[in-house]
């Protein structure tokens, strides 16, 4: 679950200016435990917070800027949203992730390549040494059309990230661990491979979005795609907006998780510092609908036959494997000599079955 939160929450905007006064940041009822409870109830396994968005305002008291919670009236300048966030999610068995925008509209070092890269590395180091294990670090490729020319030292950033936390997943348009799906609608390509050619990728390159959306069946690199989309129209909370309808969320689920991708659903806290009750209700409905849809395996009472099976009758790859409860280690595989026209057939043993959802998974070695 994504959490877009910051000064934009209080200015009713999506992209800030970098000139916001920190005094506007005052979420007097902030409760990170409420965020985590909402996520846990929806079955979320990872939560990612925008520690710094494009406006440059930091949700932790960074030593390297005066544009942070330390200059806000919230908790008299002694608050730390990142600390409250990581403590709350871990207490509920949820992994913590952090987003640190490369583009910074506030800091005067932006546009001065060496100075800004040193600044960015320093902030990365703060986040990855102060707050314990971070499961995913999110590098956004977005940058406004009038932004100064800026070369990011991505290789240095990624190297330091892995040096500080070797098990962390790095997200960007080009990975190296998790890749962008190429849009913010939550939709993967009809076929979306987890493999891709990393040499064809670069961060912030708009010409590769179709390639990101489908992956590459002949790709040399493993880079599963992540589908980011907001539960509302905007990424930040706006009083005028409402959560998407349940039918819309289910459509997103089918076109993200159902197409071999990870769904990262943004649920933005409001000006009070809480996830709005309307969003909490929609999350519960969403989780409940998914549980109901997949609660009964209608194929479980069918007989199953296939065009062939690898290794013959005793090879361990028979079609009955698709009906057992082991979804990780057992599977059907056709004969290696069979080059095309594979098929598997399910036959009902009793009455006719009507359905409108099929879930098929591929065993990936």
pLDDT band at 316 (very low <50, low <70, confident <90, very high): very high
Asked whether residue 133 carries a pLDDT value surpassing 90, the answer given is: yes
Asked whether residue 161 carries a pLDDT value surpassing 90, the answer given is: yes
Contacts of 51 (CB under 8 A, 6+ apart): 58, 59, 60, 82, 98, 99, 100, 127
Residue 275 and residue 38 in contact, taking contact as beta carbons nearer than 8 Å: yes
Q: What is the pLDDT of residues 53-69, one digit of tens each?
A: 999 999 999 999 999 99
Asked whether residue 23 carries a pLDDT value surpassing 60, the answer given is: yes
Asked whether residue 339 carries a pLDDT value surpassing 80, the answer given is: no
Tell me the average pLDDT across 285-301. Answer: 94
Domains of the chain: 2-293 (3.20.20.80), 298-348 (no CATH)
Tell me the average pLDDT across 229-258. Answer: 99
Asked whether residue 296 carries a pLDDT value surpassing 70, the answer given is: yes
Asked whether residue 238 carries a pLDDT value surpassing 60, the answer given is: yes
Contacts of 271 (CB under 8 A, 6+ apart): 9, 10, 27, 237
Tell me the average pLDDT across 166-179. Answer: 98
Rounded to whole angstroms, the Cα distance separating 186 from 188 reads 7
Rounded to whole angstroms, the Cα distance separating 82 from 75 reads 14
Residue 16 and residue 8 in contact, taking contact as beta carbons nearer than 8 Å: yes
Asked whether residue 107 carries a pLDDT value surpassing 70, the answer given is: yes
pTM, 2 dp: 0.96
Which residue in 118, 126, 201 sits closest to 156, CA to CA? Answer: 118
Angle between helices 154-164 and 113-130 (to 10 degrees): 20
Asked whether residue 306 carries a pLDDT value surpassing 70, the answer given is: yes
The three-state (H, E, C) secondary structure of 232-291, written as one string: CCCCCCCCCCCCCCHHHHHHHHHCCHHHCCEEEEECCECCCCCECHHHHHHHHHHHHHHH
Tell me the average pLDDT across 346-359. Answer: 88
Residue bearing the bigger pLDDT, 284 or 300: 284
Asked whether residue 365 carries a pLDDT value surpassing 80, the answer given is: no
The three-state (H, E, C) secondary structure of 92-106, written as one string: CCCEEEEEECCCCCC
Alpha helices in the chain (DSSP H): 7-11, 32-41, 81-91, 113-130, 154-164, 209-214, 246-254, 277-293
Tell me the average pLDDT across 162-177. Answer: 98
Buried b (16+ CB within 10 A) or exposed e, 308-327: bbeeeeeeebbbebbbeeee
Residue bearing the bigger pLDDT, 359 or 118: 118
């Amino acid at each position: 679950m994504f959490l877009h939160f910051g000064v934009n929450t209080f200015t009713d905007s999506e992209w800030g200016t970098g000139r916001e006064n920190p005094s506007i940041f005052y979420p007097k009822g902030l409760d990170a435990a409420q965020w985590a409870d909402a996520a846990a109830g929806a079955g979320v396994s990872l939560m990612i917070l925008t520690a710094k968005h494009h406006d440059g305002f930091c949700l932790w008291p960074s030593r390297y800027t005066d544009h942070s919670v330390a200059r806000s009236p919230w908790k008299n300048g002694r608050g730390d949203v990142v600390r409250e966030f990581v403590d709350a999610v871990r207490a509920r068995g949820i992994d913590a992730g952090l987003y640190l925008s490369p583009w910074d509209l506030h800091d005067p070092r932006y546009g001065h390549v060496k100075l800004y890269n040193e600044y960015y590395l320093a902030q990365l180091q703060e986040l990855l040494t102060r707050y314990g294990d971070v499961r995913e670090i999110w590098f956004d490729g977005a940058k406004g059309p009038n932004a100064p020319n800026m070369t990011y030292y991505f290789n240095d950033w990624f190297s330091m990230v892995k040096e500080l936390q070797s098990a962390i997943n790095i997200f960007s348009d080009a990975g190296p661990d998790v890749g962008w799906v190429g849009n913010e609608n939550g939709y993967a390509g009809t076929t979306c491979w987890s493999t891709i050619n990393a040499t064809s990728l670069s961060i912030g390159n708009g010409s590769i979005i179709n390639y990101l959306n489908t992956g590459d069946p002949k790709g040399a690199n493993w880079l599963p795609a992540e589908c980011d989309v907001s539960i509302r129209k905007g990424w930040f909370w706006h009083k005028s907006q409402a959560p998407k309808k349940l039918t819309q969320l289910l459509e997103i689920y089918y076109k993200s998780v159902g197409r071999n991708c990870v769904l990262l659903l943004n649920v933005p806290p409001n000006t009070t510092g809480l996830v709005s009750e309307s969003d909490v209700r929609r999350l519960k409905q969403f989780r409940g609908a998914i549980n109901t849809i997949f609660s009964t395996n209608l194929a479980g009472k069918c007989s199953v036959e296939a065009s062939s099976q690898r290794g013959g009758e005793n090879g361990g790859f028979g079609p009955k494997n698709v009906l057992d409860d082991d979804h990780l280690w057992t599977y059907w595989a056709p004969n290696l000599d069979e080059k095309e026209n594979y098929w598997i057939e399910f036959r009902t043993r009793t009455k006719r079955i009507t359905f409108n959802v099929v879930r098929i998974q591929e065993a990936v070695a």
